[in-house]
Amino acid sequence: MTFIAQRFARAVHDHLVLSLVNLPEHPVIMGIFGAPGEGKTFQLRTVLDDANVHVLSINAADFESDRAGVPGKHLLASYVSAARAIEGKRPSCLVIDDVDTTAGEWENNTGTVNHQQVLAQLMHLADRPCDVESIGRIARVPIFVTGNDFGKLYPPLRRPGRMTALHWAPSAEERRAVITTVLMGLAGDDVVANLLASYPRHPVSFFAELRSHLTTIGAAQVIERLSQNLPLIAGEADLYRPHVEAAVRGRLDPLLVEQTAAALHEQHQAAGRAYLAPAYLTPSPEQVDE
């Protein structure tokens, strides 16, 4: 079971429909921004997958090349490929992950040719999504970009009319629902409530990592047995994953869950992640609700 916040899914569906029907006043780009680890990319991919939308993906690494102009051409080629799929009656979209890391405006940004051309290409698509030079008229493609810092984007690109933005900060109730789902089968509602009270500023990814640790503990014997014959399980994930999952079915001792969470928290601190706190820790649920 996967929990997807309804307001998140609704925003994605709205952008898909309004883009595919080519509503002129609706921006072709939707930016989804917010603190790291709160499930932006996971929810986006899940919503698109559930809607049977064909996704063409571009990540930050695709915007880097030792050959000038290649990233911009790759961006355009991906857009055109998605447009052709739409013209063939296959719902499609373009997803650009972590757009602020490479196409963003940073203090030490050198303003490379690739950086400038990617921005220019995005500006062109935002202004004339159905008109590509040397190709002509094509179908309009919904574009989704994700990132952590909306303010790092080129201001003319993020202005109203070119981009619609969803600033994703889950409410206390949304966080509770997501984390309850993440820990489903391992921890009851009362344990989840205690964890939320103990770690109100940790992102959802912390609790996903907690589930991984709890799975490792609960399935220790199965993992040890399978580790003795790795060639047996390589390439057979669907066959052997149920063995691990079956070993951790049923709720674990609440004390074990809370001790594991405390140990994981300490590991984060010991790993020197404190310097990431401003970006990686979210407001408390009480602050979000205010």
Radius of gyration of the chain (CA): 22
| pLDDT at residue 120, as a whole number | 87
- Each of the 290 residues of the chain gets a pLDDT tens digit; together they read 578 999 999 999 999 999 999 999 999 999 999 999 999 999 999 999 999 999 999 886 777 666 666 888 889 999 999 999 999 999 999 999 988 876 655 445 545 677 778 888 999 999 999 998 878 999 999 999 998 888 888 888 888 899 999 999 999 999 999 999 999 988 989 999 999 999 998 999 999 999 999 999 989 999 999 999 999 999 999 999 998 988 887 778 999 999 999 999 998 877 754 455 455 455 544 444 44
| pLDDT at residue 288, as a whole number | 47
Cα 79 from Cα 135, distance rounded (Å): 12
Identify each DSSP E strand in the chain by its residue range. 29-33, 54-58, 92-96, 131-132, 136-137, 143-147, 163-167
Classify 31 in phi/psi space as left (phi over 0), alpha (psi -120 to 50) or beta. Answer: beta
> Tokens standing for 220?
């220790």
| pLDDT at residue 132, as a whole number | 87
Phi, psi of 54, rounded to the nearest 5 degrees: -75, 125
Cα 277 from Cα 23, distance rounded (Å): 41
Q: Which of 240, 263, 51 is nearest to 144 (CA)?
A: 51
Alpha helices in 33-69 (DSSP H): 40-50
Strands 136-137 and 54-58: unpaired
> Tokens standing for 15?
């952008």
Question: What is the end-to-end Cα distance of the chain in Å, rounded?
Answer: 30
| pLDDT at residue 290, as a whole number | 46
Report angle CA 246, 251, 256 to the nearest 5 degrees.
Answer: 110
| pLDDT at residue 269, as a whole number | 77
Cα 34 from Cα 205, distance rounded (Å): 13
Report angle CA 218, 41, 48 to the nearest 5 degrees.
Answer: 105
Cα 205 from Cα 213, distance rounded (Å): 12
> Tokens standing for 239?
């066959």
Burial 80-95 (b: 16+ CB within 10 A, else e): bebbebbeeeebbbbb
| pLDDT at residue 48, as a whole number | 97
Q: Are 95 and 56 in contact (CB under 8 A)?
A: yes
| pLDDT at residue 6, as a whole number | 94
